[in-house]
Amino acid sequence: MSEQPLLLHVQGVSKTFPGVKALEAMHLDLRAGEVLALVGENGAGKSTLMKLLTGVYEADEGEFFLNGEPYEPTSTKHAQELGISIIHQEFNLMPDLTVAQNVFIGREPRGSRLFLNERRLNAQAAELIERLHLPLRPKELVGNLTVAKQQMVEIGKALSYDAKLLIMDEPTAALNDAEVEVLHDLIRRFVRPDTGVIYISHRMDEIKQIADRVTVIRDGRYVGTRETKETTMKEVISMMVGREISGEAKPVGVQADRDVVLEVSGLSTKDLLKDVGFELRKGEILGFAGLMGAGRTETARALVGADGISSGTIRLRGREIRIHSPAEAAKHRIGYLSEDRKQFGLLLEQEVNANIGLSALAERFQKWGFMKDKAMRATSREYVKTLRIKTPSVAQTAKNLSGGNQQKVVIARWLVKDCDVLIFDEPTRGIDVGAKEEIYRLLNDLAEQGKSIIMISSELPEVLRMSHRIVVMSEGRVTGTLDAGEATQESVMHYATLRPDENPEDAAELGLVEQA
């Protein structure tokens, strides 16, 4: 029994899926008026626990108490009515409807039994937006909003149910630093003596900023809870992974005077990029830093021919090449690993084997159009082993793997293809700390083997610890190129917030207002 009133009390909860014990004797306490961070590696059981809390699944054993009352939600809607709302990593919004229509979907005020009262709907939405200080307008189309604003629509929707407990699942995965600040302000305003937030995140620095306590779970079991003020990131991480992780790593193998492999100059697109130029050298990890919308992903996509360019030259080992499609890029042994694994990377419903062999299929695993299935499986198994992909077999469906392992599958695909230039777009997004370390190790190994790597990342610490050199972009241009030695968080941020054309006042706003 705790001396403080518990908003949520979870006790002895177990949940088993066919073949998998997802949760065992799980325990969780959320005090009223606090933000509790919930951390754990992917597959630790966080999402299962959240699905139990929101009535998606039913627990096999154990009890939940909300404000001391037994809490047994039967559906997400029921959970919302009882005061628990969840904001998922992936939004559930209708892009073609307005903010107001989205927030009150299913609860639209009616003029009579049949007709909608759009005016009252917008008035209600305006009132909610006002109360929460959200930078939104009721009649805006959700599809036109930035990711950060769409998330605010989700939050508005959740809070419109008069939620007592708000669960946020990796809310900042797609936000830049300034947007994260806005989100945190919103959370602080939401937390009153009778409400609470469960904040699921992989970003340790944010947890320090926003959470009062941290609860760590591992392999479906409760590990422990710490006061944020009294713990260190290192302790939390070692609780999560069950082992110590070396904290402050530096880029390895930094070396000047390497041969230039890829030279890009004057790269422009109709929409965003203006005169982008950089050099990529053999065996180097070139970091790409910048705020959301700076044009890093666009540069990568233009480079591999996924999007058209209006001008620019690309030289590979001194020879000018033209790339019109990713297929041509692959012929030149340039591979791009998208930031969005699920949408642009994996064949989720297909086997691990089919995913790994995909790029090199035509080249290595066929004769006269017939597949050499055995050879492909053997190669897939080999890479599953060397990259330590956790999967029961190469016949496993890709969607059943955790995020980190999915990412490794996509990496394996390009390694099988034997690319010389690999472009990693946010390689560790949505991946837990332990798996991140493995991805880092892998990138370093690849560079060591002489591969040239471009690593696009929105996490500054990641850019700083991995990159031999850093290209910083802002507003579709390269604003600075830094060597590992001279790069600091501050210097990178300086270049990332530079606005080539506009005045400084606008620049201050840059973090909040993403340029369309």
Partner 1 sequence: MTTSAVTSDEQPTAVEAVGTGLKDRLQQFLAFASLIAIFLFFSIASSSFLNYSNVTAILFSTVVIGLLALGTTFVIITGGIDLSIGTGMTLCAVISGVLITNSGVPVLLGVIGAVLFGGLIGLVNGFNVSILGIPPFIATLAMMLVAQGLALVISDSTPIYFTDSPSYIGISTGHLFGVDFPNAVLVLAVATVIAAVLANKTVLGRYTYSIGSNEEATALSGINVRRWKLVIYTLAGLFTGLAGVMISARLASAQPGTGLGYELQAIAAVVIGGTSLAGGKGSIVGTIIGALIISVLNNGLQIMSIPQEWQNVILGIVILVAVYADMARKRAVV
Q: Is 393 a residue that touches partner 1 (CB under 8 A)?
A: yes
Instruction: Please identify which residue in 77, 78, 188, 331 interacts with partner 1, judged by CB under 8 A.
Output: 331
| Partners of 35 in beta bridges | 197
Choices 63-71, 207-215, 388-396, 446-454 (CB under 8 A): range interacting with partner 1:
388-396
**Residue 283 or 345: which CB sits closer to partner 1?**
345
**Residue 209 or 325: which CB sits closer to partner 1?**
325
CA-to-CA distance for 373 and 366, rounded, in angstroms? Answer: 8
Q: Is 390 a residue that touches partner 1 (CB under 8 A)?
A: yes
**Residue 225 or 406: which CB sits closer to partner 1?**
406
**466: part of which helix (H) or strand (E)?**
helix 460-466
Which of 107, 109, 110 is closest to 81 using CA atoms? 107
Q: Is 348 a residue that touches partner 1 (CB under 8 A)?
A: yes
How many residues bind to partner 1 according to rule CB under 8 A? 55
**376: part of which helix (H) or strand (E)?**
helix 373-386
Please, are residues 350 and 404 in contact by the beta-carbon 8 Å criterion?
no
How many other C-beta atoms lie within 10 A of the C-beta of residue 127?
A: 12
Please, are residues 460 and 480 in contact by the beta-carbon 8 Å criterion?
no
Instruction: Please identify which residue in 230, 257, 349, 501 interacts with partner 1, judged by CB under 8 A.
Output: 349
Q: Is 335 a residue that touches partner 1 (CB under 8 A)?
A: yes
Q: Is 299 a residue that touches partner 1 (CB under 8 A)?
A: no
> Counting Cβ atoms within 10 Å, is residue 85 exposed (0-12), middle (13-18) or buried (19+)?
buried
Q: What is the 3-state secondary structure (H, E, C) of 251-309?
A: CCCCCCCCCEEEEEEEEECCCCCCCEEEEEECCCEEEEEECCCCCHHHHHHHHCCCCCC
Q: Is 366 a residue that touches partner 1 (CB under 8 A)?
A: yes
CA-to-CA distance for 230 and 242, rounded, in angstroms? Answer: 19
Cα separation of the two ends of the chain: 52
Residues numbered 423 to 452 that lie near partner 1 (CB under 8 A) are none
Q: Is 20 a residue that touches partner 1 (CB under 8 A)?
A: yes
**Residue 240 or 330: which CB sits closer to partner 1?**
330
**Residue 334 or 496: which CB sits closer to partner 1?**
334
User: What type of residue sits at position 126?
Assistant: A
Instruction: Please identify which residue in 154, 351, 426, 475 interacts with partner 1, judged by CB under 8 A.
Output: 351
Instruction: Please identify which residue in 345, 427, 430, 476 interacts with partner 1, judged by CB under 8 A.
Output: 345
Lay out the site mask for partner 1 across 228-257 (x = CB under 8 A, - = otherwise): ------------------------------
Q: Is 402 a residue that touches partner 1 (CB under 8 A)?
A: yes
CA-to-CA distance for 107 and 115, rounded, in angstroms? Answer: 13
Which positions lie near partner 1, rule CB under 8 A? 20-22, 24, 43, 219-221, 304, 306, 325-327, 329-331, 335-336, 338, 343-351, 354, 358-359, 361-362, 366, 369-371, 373, 381, 384-385, 388-397, 402, 405, 413, 417
